[in-house]
Chains A and B, each alone.
Chain A
Amino acid sequence: MEGFSVLDNLFEPIAVVDKKFDIVYYNNYFVTFTSSTPRQIKKDPALCEILNFSQYDLKKALGDTLKNKKDTLSREVNLSINGKEESHTVVIKIISLDDDKLMLCLNDVSVETQLHEKYRSQLVELRSSHEQLMQTDKLATIGQLTAGISHEINNPLTVALGGSQNIEYFLEAEKVDLKEVTTSNMMILESLKKVVDIISNMKSFVHKAEDQKEYCDVSELILNGIKLVSNGWAKNNVEFNNIVPEEAKLCLVNKIELEQVIVNLLQNAVDALEEAGTKNPEITISLDTNIDENCLELFVKDNGPGIPKDIQEEIFKPFFTTKKVGKGTGLGMAISERLINKYRGTIEIAESNSKGTTFVVQLPLIEDSSISHNSRLVDNLSNDTVKTILVVDDEPQILNIMEKFIQEAGHLFIGSSGGEEALKLLGDVEVDVIISDYHMPRMNGAQFVEKVRKMDDEVPILFLSSADTLSEYEKEKDKLGISGLIIKPFTKEDIFSSIGYLLTDEDDDVTE
């Protein structure tokens, strides 16, 4: 048909119909796409006979476009052609032309739709396999640990039994020595507490960890990991050096998962020392902040024979193990790497030679993690009513509860564990309110605010502390421009009203 020949060789199926919806023009690809022929179209030009939609009324759409003289675009619909089984997913555009004609353009999105569905189902399968793998590894690790632990539970139970037999003996004596009875009782209590600790650690380790992140002190996780593993290795006289940092080192992770990584590292170190028969076996674990690289660094060092250079690249691969059959699944390091990578951290061999091996785990500081974690949770981040609130506190429980309250109020929460880290963050990120603990190691609240005021003298700041800092607050508030004090322990309403008041009227001071 004249005027449409320019469409002849386009790769989209195009047809033009008259007001009876009979085809008056079609391009080459329309014939190919509809598996029809010029003869068939000539014989029966009714468009609606060629194109069959299950959930789309083509005739109505054509009628509406003709009547309203307004182009229409459909959603994705399924099309079967000439009654054939195979269907396509298409988007239809109907264009109103002059002379009561309509142009129909079909966009075939079948391949994209199928690939997308395939991708989604494979992703679900992958996630499920990953979870199963994680659980399998945990259970495999538990299997190994349980043998050692069941042996170790025997020791305190034997001591407890001995203690209770002593008490029985002392009570049968003519004169009851209360001091002896008390001592034996203390012995029983301590032993049973040790058993409870062992079992409690085991339970929390076994339970499938949901993907719940929280602020936690890595030093505590290290201690839990040591307790879990030391019940197996204590008998081998491995000396353990836990270099505990002076202050809390916080990270935003799933506690169970990070504990799992620590257990894997410690267990591997123990196994390496045992296998090598190392004299005076030692494992040192240390934790520090690397402010230049914006991360926490956890080191696990043993004095074993080292890992041969040719297998150092292999140890993070799934199912790679140098342990004897039945002693390891070869999944521990692969899963540990996966978990740490999930938190945008890294795990690698820092050093390995004949004097021993050191693994280093780097995790982002909570300032970075909390921005990316919380940005995803806040709706309408670009909305002016959503404020960014920085909370500086070295106690993870405070950060966890403040995060919960501030998220409930619909704002973006950023956590920081200390003044130095918070100042570094403020150099890059603008915040609307700062809430700072007063008593912090290295830099207290007043020192922190003094430095903040050199960068920004307008941002509203609240102190968060106990009632005993009221006098310091009164002294410092005017000098430092502190807007208010939230007293611990606080409720959700205390936080809402302090922040709400600040954000509606920044000129008024607020004291709780």
Chain B
Amino acid sequence: MSGSLEVKTKVVDSKVVVELAGAIDEDADFSKIKGLGGMHSYEFNFDNINAINSCGVREWTNFVSSLGEKAEIRYLNCRQIIIEQINMVHGFIPENASIESFYAPYFCEDLDKEYKILLKSGDVIEKKAPKVECPDGDHEMEFDAIEGQYFNFIK
């Protein structure tokens, strides 16, 4: 892993909004956010995360647990690599955290093209992929992963 992690933070009322970009690995530095500990709620945007490894997962899990059990934590725009880690690692998404939105893989057979579609957790009922139309056509696309495994994180 060679990418470094960029962290941008802003405070809106009593909510800390964090945008993460780059790689979450053994060099990931969350001190900027740690300095804002003790706030009521946190929102993490993973839209620009391009890589994560097991060391990064460990760093993240330790960091997010340090925010405390009382903080409200939301994860937004989780990339597929984040969802894969969430499904594998206990503690990546603690009890006081929820996933508001995430990317899911779909495939358009007509155009023979893959898409990553942004879904809200509420769109998934009983761990079944919602029907999605191709953004470049009007045909329904096929969910391109194993449903039971991919949506395992949905409570």
Contacts and interface: CB of A to CB of B under 8 A. Distances in A.
Interface of A: 9, 11, 28-29, 31-32, 37-39, 110-111, 114-115, 118
| Prevailing SS type, chain B contact patch | mixed
Contacts of B96: none
B124 interface: no
A298 to B, nearest CB: 43
A33 to B, nearest CB: 9
Contact of A38 (B1, B55, B88, B146): B146
Interface of B: 1, 26, 53-55, 84, 88, 105, 107, 142, 144-146, 149
A11 B146 contact: no
B132 to A, nearest CB: 15
Given A32-B84, A39-B107, A111 B142 contact: no
28 contacts: A9-B149, A11-B88, A28-B146, A28-B149, A29-B88, A31-B145, A31-B146, A31-B149, A32-B84, A32-B149, A37-B105, A37-B107, A37-B144, A37-B145, A38-B144, A38-B145, A38-B146, A39-B107, A39-B142, A39-B144, A110-B53, A111-B53, A111-B54, A111-B55, A114-B1, A115-B26, A115-B55, A118-B26
Nearest to A114: B1
A11 B84 CA distance: 11
Contacts of B144: 37-39
A-B pairs with lowest CB-CB distance, top 3? A28-B149, A37-B144, A32-B84
Nearest to A8: B149
A38 B150 CA distance: 12
Contacts of A110: 53
Contacts of B107: 37, 39
Contacts of A39: 107, 142, 144
Given A29-B88, A37-B105, 13 more contacts: A11-B88, A31-B145, A31-B146, A31-B149, A37-B107, A38-B145, A39-B142, A39-B144, A110-B53, A111-B53, A111-B55, A115-B26, A115-B55
Contacts of B1: 114
A9 B142 CA distance: 23
Nearest to A40: B144
Contacts of A114: 1
Nearest to B107: A39
B27 to A, nearest CB: 9
B145 to A, nearest CB: 6
